Copies of this chain bind each other. A is one copy, B any other.
């Protein structure tokens, strides 16, 4: 293994000790103490390598590596926050890989005849996971104008702490602003298609479409030990039937060509006492598919089932917040560039779709974007046992370096087409 790759693995091991859990994962939820420790660790690392670090108004962290003063910026990034009892690779791998790849591209340019056409910024997007503060992909959603900074900052966690308060508590908020000309992200696959086909690199061609719903099932509180069935309006029964229905819909609507995946990850019961029929359950249900028509059919079925469940459990089901994105393609030129870069390094690659949302899902809507995957062992993710092998991690860093090098050389987007961006210097972040 090259010393550069060994250095990457050493840094990765070091980062993985921050917020480490007993089961071999990490717990670094957004803007917690552990997330703050990790952000500062990363800042220390990259400042030592010649980057300068800034924060924007919603806590996105920018590590700036200037190759050519005044040139426009190319971004590479992912997120350092994790799920509770999450894996140590999800997001964190991509941010660290971005920093190493940027340095390698810088070193390669030092020997080049022509100067670089772009500078490189590594972005650690705030709160991609969305477990402490909803919605997920919060930092990149603000950056791409999908939600406002004020909405994000006023969001509260279950204890009533706002994003603003939490970011101020860990001291990683500022007023930096930066436009970028293109975006690259590398991430673990979190599925097992690469492993199953023994391929090193996934080139992401599109996202799945997804409809996400927040349902509120309203029943009436009653005594479990005294209320006969006919008198019950059992919110827990209604919500449970909805979870079961969601799975049935996934199985019913999946075809050989287009899979449907339904999920429910959060489910809160009130008052949740052993002898009380629940008065209310709040739950999140999402429906995803690679095909818009299949998704629409599954979605219609879900809403028909909601009406049936209302009658069966004698409850009223409200649909609260919702959030949808269509199946969308990544940049085709980017897909070709990444494939050629992989070929040049002798890395096997294949085209994949991403079922999960990533910050690149947002970024691809505003700038040309490339998304790369490295394999996950057994597809296990959001789990302390999440694993990407060392050889796959370093292959990803090598590919990312090559992709960045090609981009700063003007092979993806043109510097002359890009508005010269002003960097607003941060005044409050230290």
Binding site for B on A (CB under 8 A): 83-85, 90, 129-131, 134, 136, 189-192, 210, 220-229, 231, 234, 236-237, 239-244, 247, 250-251, 254, 259, 261, 263-269, 271-279, 284, 286, 288, 313, 354-357, 379-384
Measured between beta carbons, the chain B residues less than 8 angstroms from A251 are 229
Set B85, B189, B274, B279: member contacting A226, Cβ < 8 A: B189
Q: A384 CB to closest chain B CB, in angstroms?
A: 8
Indicate whether A274 sits within 8 Å of B136 (C-beta atoms), given known contacts A191-B226, A382-B221: yes
Q: Are B356 and A225 in contact (CB-based, < 8 A)?
A: yes
Residues of B within 8 A of A90 (CB): 223
Q: Is A265's CB under 8 angstroms from B278's CB?
A: yes
Contact check, B266 vs A274: say whether CB atoms are below 8 A apart. yes
Prevailing SS type, chain A contact patch: loop
Instruction: List chain B residues, Cβ under 8 A from A247.
Output: 229, 234, 237, 313
Contacts of A284 in B (CB 8 A): 274
Contacts beyond the supplied A228-B261, A229-B247: 14 A-B pairs with Cβ under 8 Å:
A83-B275, A85-B271, A131-B274, A191-B228, A222-B383, A223-B381, A225-B288, A226-B356, A226-B379, A231-B379, A240-B240, A247-B313, A274-B284, A279-B383
Query: Are B83 and A276 in contact, CB atoms less than 8 angstroms apart?
Result: yes
Contact among B236, B250, B286 with A243 in the assembled complex (CB-CB below 8 Å): B236
B273 & A268 in contact (Cβ 8 Å cutoff): no
Within 8 Å CB of A130, what residues of B?
274-275
Closest chain B residue to A207 by CB distance? B225
B residues near A279, Cβ cutoff 8 Å? 383
Question: Whose C-beta in chain B lies nearest to the C-beta of A231?
Answer: B379
Check B244 against A381 for contact (C-beta < 8 Å): no
Question: In the assembled complex, how far is the CB of residue A317 from the closest CB belonging to chain B, in whole angstroms?
Answer: 15
B277 near A223: Cβ-Cβ < 8 Å: no
Shortest Cβ distance from A268 into chain B, in angstroms?
7
Oligomeric state, in copies: 2
Q: From residue A243, how far is it (CB to closest CB) to chain B in Å? A: 4
CB distance from A421 to the nearest CB of B (A): 32
A226 touches B265 (CB 8 A): no
> A122 vs B129: C-alpha distance in the bound complex, in angstroms?
56
Could you write out 7 A-B pairs with CB less than 8 Å apart?
Answer: A85-B271, A131-B276, A134-B274, A226-B355, A231-B379, A244-B244, A275-B382
A47 to chain B, nearest CB (A): 32
**A276 with B271: in contact, given A190-B223, A380-B222 (CB under 8 Å)?**
no
Identity of the chain B residue whose Cβ is nearest the Cβ of A227 in the assembled complex: B379
Residue on B nearest A134 in the bound complex, by CB = B274
Chain B residues near A274: list those with CB within 8 A.
Answer: 130-131, 134, 136, 265-266, 284
Is B273 in contact with A266, judged by CB distance below 8 angstroms? yes
Instruction: Quote the shortest CB–CB distance from A348 to chain B (angstroms).
Output: 21
Residue of B nearest to A131 (CB): B273
B275 touches A226 (CB 8 A): no
Chain B residues within an 8 Å CB radius of A264: 224, 236-237
Q: Closest approach, in angstroms, between the C-beta of A133 and any C-beta of chain B? A: 11
What residue in chain B is nearest A358 (Cβ atoms)?
B225
Indicate whether A224 sits within 8 Å of B379 (C-beta atoms), given known contacts A83-B276, A129-B275. no
Given A220-B383, A240-B244, A243-B237, also A228-B259 (CB < 8 A): yes
**B275:A250 contact, CB within 8 angstroms:** no
In the A-B complex, the 9 residue pairs with the smallest Cβ-Cβ separation, listed nearest first, are: A225-B356, A190-B226, A224-B263, A240-B240, A240-B243, A131-B273, A223-B382, A223-B381, A226-B356
A88 vs B245: C-alpha distance in the bound complex, in angstroms? 38
Least distance between A253 CB and chain B CB atoms (Å): 11
